[in-house]
Amino acid sequence: MSEAGSIEKGPDGVYTFTLARPDAMNALNRELVELIAEASNAVRDDPDARATIFVGLGDRAFSAGADLKERAGLGSVEVAEAVASISRAMQAVAEIPVPTIAAINGVALGGGFELALACDIRIASTAAVMGLPETTLAITGRRISAADALQYGIVHEVATPDELRMRALAVARAIASNGPIAVRAAKEAIVRGMEMPLNEGVTLENELYGRTVPTKDRLEGLEAFREKRAPVYRGE
């Protein structure tokens, strides 16, 4: 992609997007924000995608949020567009149809924290610090540690800095080993179902389950269970 960020796809269908501005604490300048949106759309359009990891380059920051040095040189109209573009990029991340993992390897503030929150799963380094400094509401008005974030349910797991990326990759690969059609259906059921009344959510779940019934993957899963072996799913 560019020096601001890069995306790589592993042979198992696991994507890794790296925010690559360590000298700027991986701050979200306009170029990086555009790359996040483009990468998210690329993953969305790839039928072979299985999971996506977001991580910051270096060990100091996942992302410190908006690039305030860049903002200082922008006019009011440009600032408004920059803010809107971050919102669009976060929405693109949230709409990735496969599970997403934020490997929070350091500071995650403002827009950087929002990026982590847009992901489905958050694994934080013990050195991570998170918060939304632009607000003083509730716990988000101050910076919180990984331990506090785990207690509040903001992150799902905490790992040492040396183990963080491997742990995120292990979780992604575990997800990738499951039937991809079923995984995508499960994520859709969760994301869309949260916005529905219970009865509509149950109907949606049944509809999505119906999509998996005629698939070869479902039959492979049953056959593998009978044969006491690991299934080989092909997304068919």
Whether 180-227 and 5-176 are alike in CATH topology: the answer is no
- Look up the CATH architecture of domain 5-176: Alpha-Beta Complex (3.90)
Q: Confidence band (pLDDT; 50, 70, 90) for 139?
A: low
pLDDT at 137: 44
User: Which residues are known catalytic residues?
Assistant: 66, 111, 114, 134
**How many of the other CB atoms lie within 10 Å of CB of 226?**
8
How wide is the angle at C-alpha 129 spanned by C-alphas 124 and 134, nearest 5°?
125
Percentage of residues in the chain having pLDDT higher than 90: 87
* Residue that has been written with the tokens 């072996």 in this structure: 229
- The reported pLDDT for the residue numbered 33 is 97
Give me the pLDDT at residue 2, please.
Answer: 74
Assigned CATH class of 180-227: mainly alpha
Query: What ranges do the domains of the chain cover?
Result: 5-176, 180-227
pLDDT at 136 over 70: no
**Segment holding 40, helix H or strand E:** helix 30-44
Residue 21 pLDDT greater than 60, yes or no: yes
20, 24, 25, 28: CA torsion to nearest 10: -70
User: Helix, strand, coil % (nearest 5) of the chain?
Assistant: 50, 20, 35
Does the pLDDT value for residue 191 go beyond 80? yes
Query: What mean pLDDT is predicted for residues 175-191?
Result: 95
Return all residues near 11 (Cβ < 8 A) that are at least 6 apart.
none
Q: How far separated are the first and last CA of the chain, in Å rounded?
A: 31
Q: What is the structure's pLDDT at 1?
A: 55
Model confidence pLDDT, tens digit, residues 27-78: 999 999 999 999 999 999 999 999 999 999 999 999 999 998 988 888 889 9
Average pLDDT, the chain: 93
Q: What is the pLDDT of residue 63?
A: 97
Q: What is the DSSP string of 106-163?
A: SEEETHHHHHHHHSSEEEEETT-EEE-TT--SGGGGS-EEHHHHHHTTS-SEEE-TTT
pLDDT (tens digit per residue) in 78-127: 989 988 999 999 999 999 999 999 999 999 999 999 999 999 999 999 99
